[in-house]
C-alpha cells in the first residue's frame, strides 16, 4: 500500500518560488498555472532570501546552486510541502531532513541524459586528443604549423573505458563509447540485466579498485552521496594506470581534487576532462595551469532542449503534488 501521508492537496493556485531564472516558456507557463515568484535577476538567492522563501511558499524550485540543508528545512513554514528541484542531482538537498518534515522532493531525471552523455564523450575525446592544448596554442598565436610529431594524443578505439555509475547517463555514455570502438567495463551498485550488458557490450566489475586499475579512461557518472564522496581519492588515483585519463561529469565531490592535481602535475595521469568541481564555482588555479586539463563550467545539461524539458517536468511534478497525487519524479533518500 502506498503511504500517502506526505501528499496533500492545495486549494487555489500553489504559491511557488523559483530560485533562478528558467527558460521563458517555462516561466510563462508557471505564471499561468501557479502563484509564482520568479528570480528576474538570475542571481543565486542569499541564505536570508532562501529562509524567507521556505517560510512563505508551498513549493520551492531550487537548483544545484542552492544549499537546501537541514537548518534551512527546519526553518521552513508549515506550508512548504514540495521541493521541486530543477536538475537531476539532489546532493545539495538534505533528503532525510525533508522526509522528517514530510516535505516531498522531486527532481528532473532523464531529460539531461543525452546531453550529459554527449558532454562526457566530448571530454573523453578532448582529453585523449589534447584539444585544449591545441586550442590554447592557436588562440595564443603559438602554433607554428603542421608537424608530424606535435600534440600527439591517443586513439580511443580499442581502449578500455571504465564507467562508475551505470545509470541513465552512464548507459548513454556506454552507448556512444561503443560506437567509437571503446571497450567498456562498469561499476555500479547493481549489475545491469544481461540483455542490457550485451546490447552495450559492457562488462560488470564489482571491485572498484580493479576497474580503476585497468581502465585507460575513467568516467565518473554516479551521484554524489555520503558513500561516493571522494570515491576517487588519493589511494585510488594512485591505482590508476600511468598515463590514464579521468573524465568527471558527475559531481566534483566524487574526486579528491588536490590529489588529482598532484597526480596530473607529476605526469602520473595523461589528462583530465572536468565539467564539475568540489567547490563550484571556484576552480583551483593549479588545475587550470595544467596543460592536460580541459575544464568546462558545469555545462553537461546546458541545451535548450534539455532545460526546456526539465521545466515541463517541474510543472508536472508541482501539478500532481498540488492535486494531491504523488508526483512522477519523487526522490526518496532511502532509495538513492
Ligand X SMILES: NC(=O)C1=CN([C@@H]2O[C@H](COP(=O)(O)OP(=O)(O)OC[C@H]3O[C@@H](n4cnc5c(N)ncnc54)[C@H](O)[C@@H]3O)[C@@H](O)[C@H]2O)C=CC1
Q: Which residues bind ligand LL5AMS7Z (CB under 6 A)?
A: 64, 87-89, 112, 300-301
Residue nearest ligand X, Cβ-based: 167
Nearest to 137 by CA among 129, 125, 145, 149: 145
Cell (9 digits) for 119? 558532454
Whether 133 is a known active-site residue: answer no
Contacts with ligand X: how many residues (CB under 6 A)? 31
Cα distance between the two ends of the chain: 21
Any contact of residue 252 with ligand X (CB under 6 A)? no
Any contact of residue 20 with ligand X (CB under 6 A)? no
Phi, psi at residue 256, to the nearest 5°? -75, 100
DSSP bridge pairs for 93 = 68
Classify 4 in phi/psi space as left (phi over 0), alpha (psi -120 to 50) or beta.
Answer: alpha
* Cα 113 to Cα 115: distance, rounded to the nearest angstrom: 6
Nearest to 167 by CA among 188, 197, 153: 188
Binds ligand X by CB under 6 A, chosen from 222, 272, 315, 322: 222
> Biggest alpha carbon distance in the chain?
71
Whether 298 is a known active-site residue: answer yes
**Residue 328 C-beta: closest distance to ligand X, Å:** 15
327 with 316: CB under 8 angstroms? yes
Any contact of residue 221 with ligand X (CB under 6 A)? yes
Using CB distances below 5 to 8 A depending on partner kind, what does residue 9 bind out of ligand LL5AMS7Z, ligand X, none?
Answer: none
In the set 203, 280, 305, 325, the catalytic residue is: 280
Using CB distances below 5 to 8 A depending on partner kind, what does residue 122 bind out of ligand LL5AMS7Z, ligand X, none?
Answer: none
Whether 325 is a known active-site residue: answer no
**Closer by beta carbon to ligand LL5AMS7Z, 17 or else 249:** 249
State the residues that interact with ligand X by CB under 6 A: 88-89, 109, 112-113, 116, 164-170, 187-189, 221-225, 227-228, 249-251, 275-276, 298, 300-301
- Catalytic sites, residue numbers: 251, 280, 298
Amino acid at each position: 500500500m502506498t503511504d500517502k501521508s506526505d501528499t496533500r492537496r492545495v486549494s487555489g493556485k500553489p504559491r511557488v518560488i523559483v530560485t533562478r531564472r528558467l527558460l521563458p516558456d517555462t516561466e510563462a507557463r508557471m505564471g499561468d498555472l501557479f502563484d509564482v515568484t520568479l528570480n528576474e535577476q538570475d542571481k543565486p538567492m542569499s541564505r536570508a532570501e532562501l529562509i524567507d522563501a521556505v517560510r512563505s511558499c508551498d513549493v520551492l524550485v531550487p537548483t544545484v546552486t542552492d544549499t537546501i540543508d537541514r537548518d534551512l528545512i527546519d526553518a521552513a513554514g508549515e506550508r512548504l510541502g514540495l521541493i521541486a528541484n530543477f536538475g537531476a542531482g539532489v546532493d545539495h538537498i538534505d533528503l532525510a531532513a525533508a522526509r522528517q518534515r514530510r516535505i516531498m522532493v522531486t527532481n528532473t531525471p532523464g531529460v539531461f541524459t543525452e546531453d550529459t552523455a554527449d558532454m562526457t564523450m566530448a571530454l573523453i575525446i578532448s582529453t585523449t586528443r589534447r584539444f585544449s592544448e591545441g586550442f590554447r596554442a592557436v588562440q595564443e598565436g603559438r602554433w607554428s604549423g603542421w608537424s608530424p610529431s606535435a600534440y600527439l594524443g591517443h586513439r580511443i578505439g580499442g581502449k578500455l573505458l571504465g564507467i562508475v555509475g551505470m545509470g541513465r547517463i552512464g548507459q548513454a555514455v556506454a552507448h556512444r563509447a561503443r560506437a567509437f570502438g571503446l571497450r567498456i567495463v562498469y561499476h555500479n551498485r547493481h549489475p545491469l540485466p544481461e540483455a542490457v550488458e550485451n546490447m552495450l557490450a559492457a562488462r560488470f566489475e564489482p571491485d572498484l579498485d580493479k576497474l580503476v586499475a585497468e581502465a585507460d579512461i575513467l568516467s565518473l557518472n554516479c551521484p554524489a552521496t555520503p558513500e561516493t564522496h571522494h570515491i576517487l581519492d588519493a589511494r585510488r588515483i594512485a591505482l590508476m594506470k600511468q598515463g590514464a585519463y579521468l573524465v568527471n561529469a558527475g559531481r566534483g565531490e566524487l574526486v579528491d581534487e588536490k590529489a588529482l592535481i598532484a597526480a596530473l602535475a607529476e605526469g602520473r595521469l595523461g589528462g583530465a576532462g572536468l565539467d564539475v568541481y568540489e567547490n563550484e564555482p571556484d576552480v583551483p588555479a593549479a588545475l587550470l595551469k595544467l596543460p592536460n586539463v580541459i575544464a568546462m563550467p558545469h555545462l553537461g545539461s546546458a541545451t535548450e532542449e534539455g532545460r526546456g524539458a526539465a521545466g515541463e517536468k517541474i510543472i508536472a511534478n508541482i501539478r500532481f503534488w498540488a492535486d494531491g497525487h504523488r508526483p512522477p519524479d519523487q526522490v526518496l533518500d532511502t532509495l538513492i
